[in-house]
Amino acid sequence: MDLDANPQHQDSEEKPKGIVVILSGAPGSGKSTFCNDVLSAGRRSWVRVCQDTIANGKAGTKSQCLKSAAAALKEGKSVFIDRCNLEKEQRAEFVKLGDEQVDVHAVVLDLPAKVCISRSVKRSGHEGNLQGGKAAAVVNRMLQKKELPKVSEGFSRITFCQNENDVRDAVKIYSNLGQNDNLPAGNFGQKSPDAKVQLGIMKFLKKVENPKNASNGSQGSSPKQEIKDKDPCFMELENEHENKEGIKLKDSLVDDIPILAFPSISTSDFQFDHGKASDVIVESVIEFLNKVDNVRLVLVDISHKSHMLSLVKEKAEKKNIDPNKFSTLVGDITRLCTEGKLCCRVIANAANWRLKPGGGGVNAAIFKAAGEDLEMATKERADTLSPGTSVAIPLPSTSPLYRREGVTHVIHVLGPNMNPQRPNCLKNDYVKGCKVLRDAYASLFENFASITRDQRCNEVKSSDPRNDASKRSSVDNLHNDQKNKRDGFHDSESNKKSKPDDNMVVYKDKQKNEKTAAKRTWGSWAQALHQMAMDPEKHKDAVIEIFDEFVALNDLYPKAKKHILVVSRLPGLDSIADVQKEHLPLLKTMHDAGLKWAEKFLKEDASLTFRLGYHSVPSMRQLHLHVISQDFDSPHLKNKKHWNSFNTLFFRDSTDVIEEVEKSGEVTLNDENLLSVELRCHRCRSAHPNIPRLKFHISNCKASISSTQRLVFASS
């Protein structure tokens, strides 16, 4: 956390300035602790003004706080305003305490919601009595109205803290501040990726046109100058293609408009024709923006004389692409936020096939800026990259690029090569080259969309203290594993049931379940399992195990190396839509049979991992449990429906089905719309444009299989 904290000593004849530090943070963020830690240092004369104790140790009013702060300043003391101050309106009166002899600072304790909630719930003896069960609801409600401070409110200095290390750094700075010392003005500390607003974080609004009748005097001032006069947060673009027009900064950058900053792919070392490349960029952007709302794409180049930026800008304008959704920008992609041009969570890297640092240009710059953390995180995900594909790498919070710029993900993407000195040269085959380049941008944008969805899921989940991490167990502890809670992607999607955009329709009442099941008709081909279950002796070639309650058989079109079905023999039980509490013994018996088969396969190949579950809406009649290995290495896995039927909430884990029936006597069915959602790796959750690309990725993906799934593991 680079806070630029060198105190500036004033001339001995100057009267030292007082300081008002307005703390901003949710309950539980550590505001009172921050004040007490600084006060205990004793180098400067501080007064803590806390509304919870302002009235002789009891809660008071805002007016009392203002009066107390003004009195302390008059006595030559500096002041901490210990209130939540999460909204601009709450801070306004305290900011007015500043003048020529008093600087106004903000210290923003923007810690994760789950941290604040956990602290608030667990604490006792709180001054404001905000503790226990009621605290979680209060913290959530307050955070929904959060507006991060801006310099334009009247602050001379703002310090952002997103974690305990940042807080300790800020405490040290203010503790070391002597009576005659001042601190440099400006914004300091890394802005949190999910914060709404901060100086230097830009959102382009409509451009201000030059007035036709401008003459001289006040009416002759340029639109740019007028914006500067009105908005102290104005920043002029350094892009020579845009610096002739004024851009006004909006007061806030809304959380639900994520930004991807990306370089031009293949036009540097790979020597791809600029004209053809710019066409592909514009076409790919249009295609993506037509499918996805509330995102913004920014093409970045470090040079003011960039030919690519000129071409793309011109072609984008001709296609009438909304500049609020797609724009070009001159700048260093590794320093966009600190340079005050743009703040985004996700950036793209024009990588080499080895996914290694080195070379020149963007690849070398990003690996250098992100440090060894990026190289190590990349190795965990993939060894190589083929042209036309991409891989998303989550940056560890220890990475300098994460801490300084707020970048949470780097997406490595590899385009086509036309340089004979580089591998896989296409020798000017631009028919193939343009196709590969389109695939590369499509893969890049799909990964960006997936990251955005996951981050939104996690933001919803982070505000719920009930979400606990699950643990994976071995075969020796399979039944204990059934009691674990799920977290991560699947848990987040479950928490999103009330959201209109979660691609899921849930049948919640039993009457609707029965109605749905009653309407179902089965074609002759869909009766095969039913016939085998009812008369297994006639199908001995397919059936591998026969019991009174079920049969086991190999899936005729397996979707993985090992894929069997445990099929109920109970007449009238066509699918989980028909399941009721009376069927619990049967469900448990089928589950135990599935576990035994998984154990058998694991003894043959300890590298395998298995999952047991049911399709929400099966294609074959007769209730059947899938026991499927998670390699998905099969020529029969051919399309999106095949993949998503086993890797979305459409696939209901066996243990979840059993638990749900025990509690409510029925099973929640997830809609078939899930079969058409984007293809995502079940290991790293990255998105891919088609099955061949997904399979290639899976063969190289090194990420651990998500612990959010109910998995059966080999004993280690």
77, pLDDT greater than 80: yes
Is pLDDT larger for residue 136 or for residue 83? 83
DSSP 485: P
Q: Are 174 and 38 in contact (CB under 8 A)?
A: yes
pLDDT at residue 714 in the model:
42
Confidence of residue 180 (pLDDT cuts 50, 70, 90): confident
Percent of the chain with pLDDT over 70: 76
List 349's β-bridge partners, or say none.
412
List 546's β-bridge partners, or say none.
551
- In this predicted model, what pLDDT tens digit does every residue of 600-628 receive, in sequence order? 999 999 889 999 999 999 999 999 999 99
pLDDT at residue 70 in the model:
94
> Residues 557, 563, 564, 568: is their CA dihedral positive or negative?
negative
Task: Give the position of tokens 């100058």.
Answer: 225
Q: How many residues does the chain have?
A: 716
Give the DSSP H/E element, type plus range, for residue 327: strand 326-330
* Region 63-90 average pLDDT: 93
667, pLDDT greater than 90: yes
pLDDT at residue 430 in the model:
93
Q: CA 390, CA 383: separation in Å to the nearest integer? A: 12
Q: CA 536, CA 550: separation in Å to the nearest integer? A: 10
Spell out the alpha helix ranges (H) of 395-477: 400-405, 430-462
Q: Are 94 and 20 in contact (CB under 8 A)?
A: yes
pLDDT at residue 395 in the model:
92
Q: Are 184 and 133 in contact (CB under 8 A)?
A: no
Closest CA to 700 of 715, 678, 683: 683
List 350's β-bridge partners, or say none.
413
The phi-psi region of residue 560 (left if phi > 0; otherwise alpha if psi is between -120 and 50; otherwise beta) is beta
Q: Are 69 and 49 in contact (CB under 8 A)?
A: yes
Q: CA 405, CA 339: separation in Å to the nearest integer? A: 10
Confidence of residue 244 (pLDDT cuts 50, 70, 90): very low
Percent of the chain with pLDDT over 90: 48
The CA distances from residue 464 to 124, 139, 453, 679, in Å, are 21, 11, 18, 28
471, pLDDT greater than 50: no
Map out the domains of the chain with their CATH numbers: 18-188 (3.40.50.300), 259-458 (3.40.220), 526-712 (3.30.428.10)
**Residue 233 one-letter amino acid:** C
Spell out the alpha helix ranges (H) of 105-222: 113-122, 134-143, 164-175
277, pLDDT greater than 80: yes
Spell out the alpha helix ranges (H) of 550-648: 584-604, 640-647
Is pLDDT larger for residue 507 or for residue 191? 191
List 161's β-bridge partners, or say none.
109
Task: Give the position of tokens 């140790």.
Answer: 57
What are the backbone dihedrals phi and psi of residue 234, each rounded to the nearest 5 degrees, phi first?
Answer: -60, 135
pLDDT at residue 448 in the model:
92
Mean pLDDT of the chain: 79
563 is catalytic: no
Confidence of residue 538 (pLDDT cuts 50, 70, 90): confident
Confidence of residue 706 (pLDDT cuts 50, 70, 90): low
pLDDT at residue 579 in the model:
94
- In this predicted model, what pLDDT tens digit does every residue of 284-294 receive, in sequence order? 999 999 988 88
565, pLDDT greater than 90: yes
- In this predicted model, what pLDDT tens digit does every residue of 373-422 receive, in sequence order? 999 999 888 888 889 999 999 999 889 998 888 899 999 999 999 999 88
Q: Which of 15-24, 46-55, 231-240, 344-353 is least confident?
A: 231-240
The CA distances from residue 189 to 138, 161, 170, 186, 249, in Å, are 27, 6, 9, 10, 21
- In this predicted model, what pLDDT tens digit does every residue of 184-196 receive, in sequence order? 888 887 554 433 3
- In this predicted model, what pLDDT tens digit does every residue of 319-333 receive, in sequence order? 999 998 999 999 999
**Residue 154 one-letter amino acid:** G
Strands 651-653 and 711-712: unpaired
Confidence of residue 86 (pLDDT cuts 50, 70, 90): very high
434, pLDDT greater than 90: yes
Give the side-chain half-sphere CA count within 13 A for 483. Answer: 3
434 token code pair: 């343009």
Confidence of residue 14 (pLDDT cuts 50, 70, 90): low
Longest C-alpha distance within the chain, in Å? Answer: 105
> Residues 685, 690, 691, 695: is their CA dihedral positive or negative?
negative
pLDDT at residue 35 in the model:
93
pLDDT at residue 249 in the model:
29
586 token code pair: 């049967």
* Region 631-636 average pLDDT: 93
435: how many CB neighbours lie within 10 A of its CB? 14
Q: CA 573, CA 530: separation in Å to the nearest integer? A: 10
* Region 592-598 average pLDDT: 94
Q: At what angle do helices 134-143 and 113-122 cross, to 10 degrees?
A: 150
Q: CA 651, CA 625: separation in Å to the nearest integer? A: 10
Q: Which of 240-254, 332-346, 358-372, 476-490 is least confident?
A: 240-254
**Residue 516 one-letter amino acid:** T
Closest CA to 678 of 490, 385, 453, 350: 453
List 327's β-bridge partners, or say none.
298
Q: What is the DSSP string of 674-701?
A: GGGSPEE-TTT--EESSHHHHHHHHHH-
Give the DSSP H/E element, type plus range, for residue 363: helix 361-370
Give the SS3 label for residue 669. Answer: strand
> Residues 129, 131, 137, 140: is their CA dihedral positive or negative?
positive
pLDDT at residue 564 in the model:
96
What are the backbone dihedrals phi and psi of residue 127, each rounded to the nearest 5 degrees, phi first?
Answer: -60, -40
233, pLDDT greater than 70: no
Is pLDDT larger for residue 642 or for residue 11? 642
Strands 389-394 and 346-350: unpaired
Give the DSSP H/E element, type plus range, for residue 481: helix 478-481
| CA trace torsion 340, 346, 350, 355 (10° rounding) | 130
Closest CA to 257 of 300, 313, 297: 297
Confidence of residue 122 (pLDDT cuts 50, 70, 90): confident
Q: Are 372 and 390 in contact (CB under 8 A)?
A: no
pLDDT at residue 12 in the model:
43
Q: CA 481, CA 711: separation in Å to the nearest integer? A: 9
Q: Is 150 exposed, middle or buried (0-12, 13-18, 19+ CB in 10 A)?
A: buried
Confidence of residue 6 (pLDDT cuts 50, 70, 90): low
Check 624, 626, 682, 697 and give the catalytic one: 624
The phi-psi region of residue 564 (left if phi > 0; otherwise alpha if psi is between -120 and 50; otherwise beta) is beta
Q: At what angle do helices 430-462 and 274-291 cross, to 10 degrees?
A: 40
pLDDT at residue 114 in the model:
81
461, pLDDT greater than 60: no
Confidence of residue 545 (pLDDT cuts 50, 70, 90): very high
Confidence of residue 15 (pLDDT cuts 50, 70, 90): low
Give the side-chain half-sphere CA count within 13 A for 281. Answer: 29
Q: Which of 83-92, 183-192, 255-264, 608-617 is least confident?
A: 183-192
pLDDT at residue 145 in the model:
80
Report the chain's terminal Cα–Cα distance, integer Å.
40
pLDDT at residue 710 in the model:
64
Task: Give the position of tokens 């990306």.
Answer: 262
* Region 545-551 average pLDDT: 92
pLDDT at residue 131 in the model:
62
pLDDT at residue 228 in the model:
34
Give the side-chain half-sphere CA count within 13 A for 17. Answer: 23
Q: Which of 42-51, 225-234, 667-676 is least confident?
A: 225-234
